[in-house]
Amino acid sequence: MAFFPLPAPLTLADIAQVGNARLAETDPAGSAAELRIDGIGTLDTAGPTDLAFCDAPAYAAKLSTTRAGACITSERFAAKARPGLPLLIATRPAAAFLAVTRAMFPSALRPLPVFGHAGIAPGAQVHPGARLEPGVTVDPGAVIGPEAEIGGGTVICAGAIIGPGVRIGRNSAVGPGASVIHALVGNNVIIHGGARIGTDGFGYQGSAAGHVKVPQLGRVVIQDDVEIGANTTIDRGAIADTVIGEGTKIDNLVQIAHNVVIGRHCIIVSQTGISGSTTLGDFVMLGGQVGVVGHITIGTGTQIADSSNVKGDVPPGVRWGGTPAKPVREWFREVATLRRLAAAGTHKAGRDESDEGENKA
Spatial CB neighbours of 162, under 8 Å, sequence gap ≥ 6: 130, 142, 143, 144, 145, 148, 150, 156, 168, 174, 180, 181
Question: Active-site residue 258, yes or no?
Answer: yes
What ranges in 133-246 are assigned the alpha helix state H? Answer: none
Measured CA to CA, the distance from residue 81 to residue 54 in angstroms comes to 10
Measured CA to CA, the distance from residue 309 to residue 298 in angstroms comes to 12
Work out whether the CA dihedral 280, 286, 289, 291 comes out positive or negative: negative
The CA-atom distances, in angstroms, between 89 and each of 45, 239, 331 are 21, 55, 41
Cβ–Cβ under 8 Å, residues 181 and 163:
yes
Cβ–Cβ under 8 Å, residues 242 and 206:
no
Looking at the DSSP assignment, which residues form a beta bridge with residue 125? Answer: 143
| Long-range Cβ contacts of 303-312 (<8 Å, 24+ apart) | 305/331, 306/269
The backbone torsions φ and ψ at residue 308, rounded to the nearest 5 degrees and listed phi first, read -85, 155
Cβ–Cβ under 8 Å, residues 23 and 13:
yes
> Which among 211, 258, 265, 295 is annotated as catalytic?
258
Residue positions annotated with a catalytic role: 258
